[in-house]
């Protein structure tokens, strides 16, 4: 958790006390983030904004990657799909005949491809699943 943030902090070569003094972000907040007692994605927008200004980076450089897809959902070819958080990252689930099936697990993602992950990836995976399912049904 907070790997991106911790990497950026280490690159400064400064202590969190020094960063707190220079950025105006409370030491306790930085300490909780560095020690992973608090998920940076659940930090206030103001704190994330200040961190980005201080570290001269974009939000995507310090936020945790896979959370962006969590609970993204839709329907395609009659299948309901949803992205769900998992221990390994995030998973693409579909419902078929009242069964929850996992089609894909992502350990990380490129935030620049958010739109692709939300629509194109699920559609491609569902098309492959549906085609394979129809082939098996044809054999039975």
Domains in the chain: ranges and CATH: 3-62 (1.10.260), 66-139 (no CATH)
Q: Which residue positions in the chain have pLDDT lower than 50?
A: none
In degrees, to the nearest 5, what angle opens at C-alpha 56 toward C-alphas 55 and 57? 90
pLDDT score, position 140:
76
Q: How far is Cα 83 from Cα 15, in angstroms, rounded to an integer?
A: 37
User: Exposed e or buried b for every residue in 29-64, given b needs 16+ CB within 10 A?
Assistant: bbebbbeeebebbebeeebbeebbebbeeeeeebbb
pLDDT score, position 118:
85
Q: How far is Cα 120 from Cα 100, in angstroms, rounded to an integer?
A: 20
Structure tokens at 103: 């089609």
Task: Read off the pLDDT of residues 86-103 as tens digits, 9 standing for 90 and up.
Answer: 887 889 999 999 999 999
State phi, psi for 63 to the nearest 5 degrees: -80, 155
Query: Edge to edge, what strands does the sheet with 79-86 contain?
Result: 73-76, 79-86, 89-96, 99-106
pLDDT score, position 66:
55
pLDDT score, position 71:
76
pTM (predicted TM-score):
0.55
DSSP letter at 42? Answer: G
pLDDT score, position 85:
84
pLDDT score, position 68:
64
């Amino acid at each position: 958790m907070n790997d991106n943030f911790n990497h950026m902090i280490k690159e400064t070569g400064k202590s969190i006390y020094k960063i707190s003094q220079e950025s105006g972000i409370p030491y306790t907040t930085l300490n909780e983030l560095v020690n992973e007692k608090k998920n940076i994605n659940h930090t206030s927008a103001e704190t994330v904004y200040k961190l980005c200004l201080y570290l001269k980076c974009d939000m995507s450089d310090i936020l945790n990657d896979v959370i962006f897809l969590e609970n993204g959902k839709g329907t395609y070819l009659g299948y309901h799909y949803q992205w769900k958080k998992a221990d390994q990252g995030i998973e693409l689930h579909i419902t078929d005949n009242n069964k929850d099936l996992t089609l894909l697990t992502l350990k990380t993602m490129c935030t620049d491809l958010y739109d692709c992950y939300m629509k194109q990836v699920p559609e491609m995976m569902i098309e492959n699943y549906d085609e394979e399912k129809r082939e098996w049904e044809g054999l039975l």
